[in-house]
Amino acid sequence: MYKLIRKALIIFSGLMIAGLLLIYGLYSGYIRFNYPSLSEYPVQGIDVSHHQNEINWQQVDRERVRFVFIKATEGGDFKDKSFAVNWQRAGEQGFVVGAYHFFTFCRSGQDQALNFIETVPKVANTLPPVIDLEYGGNCQLTIEKQQVLAEIAVLIERLETFYQKKPILYVTQEFFDDFLVGQFEQSPLWIRNIYRRPVLKDQRPWLFWQYANRGRLEGIETVVDLNTFHGTKEEFETLIKN
């Protein structure tokens, strides 16, 4: 009996240690759920903000990172303090750059468009502007769904008119299911799913996939979001130039 109890305790302890190591690996970014291959997804990149602190862009691997989405603005007046530096230095090192805006429920689409346009230069050979649509970190939702969609529509229209590129919509699975099924179907999607390859309710195609939120790269001291483009190198070049 004693031997059986001892054996059970050893097995239990081993499972506990393995579980803790797995949790640590996932939290620290050394283990993740998705590993999209370069053969299937030849164009991969990251997205950054001031949360990544000062980035040494010279050390970031250009074989692994082709593009960088950089946080520019949020709501009607917030401007990311690291945007200008990241935009300039990443571009100087040859990364294809793009800027994103975090949409908030508590400011009008017009105000948010003006904030972004004041911050992000209109430059050739850059990615289209991105509108980040999610619940996390947002204002309390106090308006109806149709009003939310109306403000998003204004923001899309203003950015497309100014930059002459159709904005990309970054969405979490939850936000897409609640707001975007059957909406803005001409807008390219950048979908977040850190657990598996995205499959949307209406089988809508996606253009970018954020497949990890705790990646590790030389030159960046914190964890960083990892992304991939859904297409060929040639299609990516066309996206930049259009």
CB-based contact 240:96 (threshold 8 Å): yes
- Both tokens of 123, joined, read 């430059």
- Indicate which residue of 47, 74, 132, 225 is catalytic: 47
11: Cα separation from own chain's centroid:
40
**DSSP character for 167?**
P
Q: Is there a catalytic annotation at residue 47?
A: yes
Which of 176, 238, 230 is CA-nearest to residue 201? Answer: 176
Amino acid identity of residue 136, one-letter, is: G
For the question of residue 63 being annotated catalytic, the response is: no
Catalytic residue among 111, 134, 178, 237: 134
- Which of 95, 31, 68, 45 lies closest to 230, judged by CA? 45
Q: Which residues participate in catalysis according to the annotation? A: 47, 134
